[in-house]
């Protein structure tokens, strides 16, 4: 038996390849599926099953494309109701894969169709579970994403999850390996570990939600406490996973249409497309297309696109180097943004050559910012998360988190200068690009963000451990 975790850092997502005696099962595949097909072919194996743990909210799965290319059936657990041909398994139903078995454990709570897949090895041992978003390392799936579809409150879903964990998962042998659907950085939980493989026994010792003395009431309170609002694109991804979507090959074909500067400008005006600049923050600062939005590929690209652009049907025009064009389109499509209508040929150089106006961002080192602080009180905008701000911040700074910056434009000074920073420089450049597109230009970016500011004499508040907030 071979098990391979195929982890994608930008989504903090784990897909899985399971092989036994020449037969393969793929669990929660990503949108681009050729890798799974090539991996099986290289080993002389055939993909027999495509297993989905639930209807994902944070990414578009590759189940439909993979099934179309391989003929393998798609399998869901009980309560799933996809709009395409699939096997909706019964609780405890087993599927033979070579010399092993994969058993369906219905574990509702994160969503009502959520299921965990238990691998039973050649000797009949309960070897591993693929827990999707039911159980993470250090956390459990948030119970607030499927309230509308389930006609239940988040508290009712949390109570359902409590029962699933204690009757289906915590009863498994301690040595059973856990392969979760996500790790730290995913919005599907709030306290996930950076580790991506664990065990039942270890989680019983360390996971707050699996305490043996925990009551259902305590579980519901702790699991629902402090949940940040889910990104706006999540329900749209669920519908794509449930109803179907366009093959990524078609998305790539459309997105790879090169446009001259004039064509690009005309398309932006005609379609009201978002002009999305995915280069580095340094490149954006020294020259960009006016009114374009920066979200660089070198950071948490897909989650920020989803959080800030929100509508997966929004037309997008890309500003990107040709060497990163396919990567940009692929990463957008992973979270359902398929309406990429083209890209600017020769990137910003093509724009400059055409004699078009070029925008810049005033950006200064933290040392220069420190000297400016010595000359008098400044307007400082901190775009980090509220928890980061509460932990430690520049004295007298304004907290204006990036994900809600459009809701607080009136708080930004219209006269004078606003100094903008985040933790390291990525989010502040996103924020500045958004503010400039809204007509706010009296902005200066502090390079290196709070990490660099702390190395200067700029006064900051006393540090408070985030876990105590």
> Which domains are assigned to the chain?
2-235 (3.60.15.10), 246-353 (3.40.250.10), 362-468 (3.40.250.10)
pLDDT band at 116 (very low <50, low <70, confident <90, very high): very high
Gap between the Cα atoms of 208 and 303, Å rounded: 26
* pLDDT surpasses 90 at 163: yes
Q: Is the pLDDT of residue 152 over 80?
A: yes
pLDDT the model gives residue 469: 57
Across 138-163, average pLDDT: 94
Looking only at Cα atoms, what is the longest distance across the chain?
74
Please write the tens of the pLDDT for every residue from 35-60: 999 999 999 999 999 999 999 999 99
39 neighbors 16 (Cβ within 8 angstroms)? no
Structure-block tokens of residue 97:
């894969």
User: In the prediction, which pLDDT does 376 show?
Assistant: 81
User: For the chain, what is the mean pLDDT?
Assistant: 95
CA angle at 334 for the pair 51 and 117, rounded to the nearest 5°: 20
Q: What is the CA radius of gyration of the chain?
A: 24
pLDDT of residue 375: 85
Q: Is the dihedral of CA 299, 304, 309, 315 positive or negative?
A: positive
pLDDT tens-digit readout, 315-369: 999 999 999 999 999 999 999 999 999 999 999 999 999 999 999 999 999 999 9
Q: What is the rounded end-to-end Cα distance, in angstroms, of the chain?
A: 45
Rounded to whole angstroms, how far apart are CA atoms 133 and 8? Answer: 15
> Looking at the whole model, is its pTM more than 0.75?
yes
Residue 379 vs residues 268, 412, 414, 421: alpha-carbon distances, Å:
33, 8, 11, 11
pLDDT at 95 over 90: yes
Return the pLDDT at 222: 96
Does 133 score more than 60 pLDDT? yes
- How far apart are the C-alpha atoms of 17 and 26, rounded to whole Å? 5
Asked if the model's pLDDT at residue 267 lies above 90, the reply is yes
Cβ atoms of residues 247 and 338 within 8 Å: no
How many whole angstroms separate alpha carbon 385 and alpha carbon 187?
Answer: 13
Q: What pLDDT is recorded for position 467?
A: 61
Q: What is the mean pLDDT of residues 430-449?
A: 96
pLDDT band with cut points at 50, 70 and 90 for residue 419: very high
Question: Which pLDDT does position 227 carry in this prediction?
Answer: 87
Alpha-carbon gap, residue 50 to 73, rounded angstroms: 6
């Amino acid at each position: 038996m071979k098990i391979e975790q195929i982890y994608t850092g930008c989504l903090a997502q784990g897909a899985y390849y399971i092989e036994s005696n020449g037969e393969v099962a793929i669990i929660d595949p990503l949108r681009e599926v050729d890798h799974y097909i090539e991996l099986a072919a290289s080993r002389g194996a055939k993909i027999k099953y495509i297993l989905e743990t639930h209807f994902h909210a944070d990414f578009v799965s590759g189940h439909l494309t993979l099934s179309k290319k391989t003929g393998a059936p798609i399998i869901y657990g009980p309560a799933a109701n996809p709009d395409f041909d699939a096997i909706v398994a019964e609780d405890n139903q087993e599927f033979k894969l070579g010399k092993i078995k994969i058993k369906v454990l219905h574990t509702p709570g994160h969503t009502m169709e959520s299921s965990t897949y238990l691998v039973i090895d050649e000797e009949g041992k309960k070897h591993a579970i693929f827990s999707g978003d039911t159980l993470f390392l250090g956390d459990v799936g948030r119970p607030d994403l499927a309230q509308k579809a389930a006609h239940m409150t988040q508290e009712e879903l949390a109570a359902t999850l409590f029962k699933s964990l204690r009757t289906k998962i915590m009863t498994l042998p301690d040595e059973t390996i856990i392969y979760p659907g996500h790790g730290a950085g995913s919005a599907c939980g709030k306290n996930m570990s950076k580790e991506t493989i664990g065990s039942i026994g270890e989680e019983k010792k360390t996971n707050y939600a699996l305490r043996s003395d925990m009551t259902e009431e305590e579980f519901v309170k702790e699991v629902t406490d402090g949940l940040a609002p889910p990104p706006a694109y999540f329900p749209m991804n669920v519908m794509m996973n449930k109803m179907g979507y366009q093959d990524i090959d078609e998305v790539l074909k459309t997105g790879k249409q090169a446009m001259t500067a004039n064509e690009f400008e005309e398309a932006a005006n005609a379609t009201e497309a978002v002009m999305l600049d995915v280069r580095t923050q340094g490149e954006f600062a020294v020259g960009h297309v006016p009114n374009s939005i920066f979200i660089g590929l070198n950071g948490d690209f897909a989650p920020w696109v989803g959080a800030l652009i929100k509508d997966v049907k929004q037309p997008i025009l890309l500003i990107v180097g040709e060497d990163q064009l396919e990567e940009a389109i692929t990463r957008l499509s992973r979270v359902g943004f398929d309406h990429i209508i083209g890209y600017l040929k020769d990137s910003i150089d093509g724009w400059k050559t055409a004699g078009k106006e070029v925008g810049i961002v005033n950006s200064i080192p933290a040392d220069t910012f420190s000297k400016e602080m010595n000359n008098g009180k400044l307007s400082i905008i901190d775009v980090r998360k509220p928890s980061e701000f509460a932990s430690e911040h520049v004295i007298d700074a304004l907290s204006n988190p990036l994900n809600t910056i459009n809701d607080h434009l009136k708080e930004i000074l219209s006269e004078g200068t606003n100094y903008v920073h985040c933790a390291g420089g990525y989010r502040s450049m996103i924020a500045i690009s958004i503010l400039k597109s809204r007509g706010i230009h009296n902005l200066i970016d502090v390079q290196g963000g709070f990490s660099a500011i702390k190395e200067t004499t700029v006064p900051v508040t006393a540090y408070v451990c985030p876990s105590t907030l």
